[in-house]
Amino acid sequence: MSEIPQIAVVIPALNGEISALRASLARQTWQPSQIEVAVGVRPNGKARNTATLRTNAPYVVFIDDDAVLANDDALEQLVKPLLSDQTLGVTGAAKLLPPDASAFQRWVAREVPRIEHAVVQTPLESNPDPPSFYCELTTTCCAMRRAVYDEVGGFNNELIRGVDTEFFTRVRRAGYRFILVPNTWTWHPAPANLWALLRKHWLYGLGHAQEVRRDPARGRGRVLKTPLHALAYWLLRTLILPINIFLPYSFAAPSWRPSFKPLKALTSYVGALGYIWGWYRA
C-alpha cells in the first residue's frame, strides 16, 4: 500500500507518564497522524471518549498508558485488516508480561485470566457472544474505524471497570466481528502485589454490577433482585471458594477445569464481593 492511512492513537493516562509508549510509537512503520492523551480523566471510558473527541482520523487505536508496543509494525498490523474488511469491528493485539516482570507478576499471569493473551500466528476471531461474552481482545491495545466507534456511541462514561467488555458487547450487537491479529503484541505488566491485584478485581466486580444493572442480559443469572438474592449469592461464593482453588471456573470455555489456582479463586471471590457491593451503588 503506497499511502499510509490517517491513524489516531488515543491513550488514557493517570499521570501523563508515557515515555516508553511514545518511544515504541516513534518506531512504528505506520506513523500515527495524531496522538491524543487524556491525563487524569476518570473513569477510563470517559478518558478514551475525551481524547477521541479531539481526533479526526478515520482509524483509532486505543492503547493503555502502561502498555508498550513490542513490534515496530503493530499499528500497521492492527489497522490493515480494517481497510479491506468492513465486517470487522475491532482488531486487537496480544499482550505479554514485560521481560522484567517480577516472580509475583508471573504467578498472577499463570493463574488469572486476561493478564496475558498469547501471540497468534494467524488471525484469531474472538467475538464476545453469550453466554460468557468472553473475548480475547482488550482495550489494552485495539483498533477500529472511527465510524464504528461513532455508530455505537463510544465508551460508557460512568463504568468504573469493565469498560472494554461493555463496549465490545455493543459493537458485537451492531453486527461486527473481532480478530486478534497475528504476530502483534504489547508488553503489559500485571499488578505488582496482592493488594493491587485484589483491588483491581474488586473494581472489576463493581463495574460489572453497574453493567448488569443497565443490561440484565449480561448478568449470567446474577441479577440480585432482593437482599435475599444478594445474601444467597454471597453464601454460595463463600462456600465454593475452597473448591475453586482446585476447580477454577473458566469464563472462556465456559467450563470447570481441575488445577491448583489459589490466586484465581481469590480474585474471583473478591470480584464477587465487589459485584454485590456495586449492585447497591450502581
Domain with 106, as residue range(s), is 7-187
Same domain, yes or no, for 17 and 145? yes
Residue 254 — very low, low, confident or very high, per pLDDT cuts 50/70/90?
Answer: low
Question: Would residue 1 count as lying in a domain?
Answer: no
**What residue has cell string 456511541?**
153
Cell of 166: 461493555
> Looking at 168, 187, 206, which one is the last position of a domain?
187
Same domain, 23 and 80: yes
In a domain, 140, yes or no: yes
Evaluate if residue 253 carries a pLDDT over 60: no
Residue 215 located in a structural domain: yes
Pair (81, 137) in one structural domain: yes
Question: Per the structure block, which three cell numbers stand in for 209?
Answer: 454490577
Residue 128, all three cell numbers: 464476545
- Closest by CA to 95, choosing from 135, 126, 140, 29, is 140
Q: What digits encode the pLDDT tens for the residues 10-65?
A: 999 988 889 999 999 999 999 999 999 999 899 999 999 999 999 999 999 999 99
Q: Is the pLDDT reported for residue 166 higher than 80?
A: yes
Domain boundary residue among 155, 172, 187? 187
> Is 142 inside any structural domain?
yes
Q: What is the mean pLDDT of residues 71-93?
A: 98
By the 8 A CB rule, do 276 and 235 touch?
A: no
Q: Does residue 87 sit in the same domain as residue 121?
A: yes
Looking at the structure, tell me whether residues 28 and 129 fall in a common domain.
yes
Question: Do 89 and 119 fall within a single domain?
Answer: yes
Same domain for 152 and 74, yes or no, is yes
Domain end call among 133, 160, 187: 187
Residue 125 lies in a domain: yes
pTM listed for this prediction:
0.93
Would you place residue 250 in the very low, low, confident or very high pLDDT band (cuts 50, 70, 90)?
low
Looking at the fold, whether 119 and 183 belong to one and the same domain comes out as yes
For the cut 60, the answer to whether the pLDDT of residue 1 exceeds it is: no
d(CA 148, CA 34): 18
Tell me what pLDDT residue 134 has.
87
Helix, strand, coil shares, percent, the chain, to 5: 40, 20, 40
| pLDDT surpasses 80 at 221 | no
pLDDT of residue 14: 86
Number of domains making up the chain: 2
Are 178 and 248 a contacting pair, CB within 8 Å? no
* Residue 38 three-state SS: strand
> What's the mean pLDDT when you consider all of the chain?
93
Q: Are residues 172 and 238 in the same domain?
A: no
Does residue 2 lie within any of the structural domains?
no
Are 148 and 76 found together in one domain?
yes
Same domain, 145 and 198: no
pLDDT given at position 251: 63
**Grid cell of 118 as nine digits:** 498469547
Q: Judge if 103 and 17 occupy the same domain.
A: yes
Q: Does residue 205 sit within a domain?
A: yes
Domain annotation covers residue 257: yes
pLDDT in tens, 197-213: 999 999 999 999 998 98
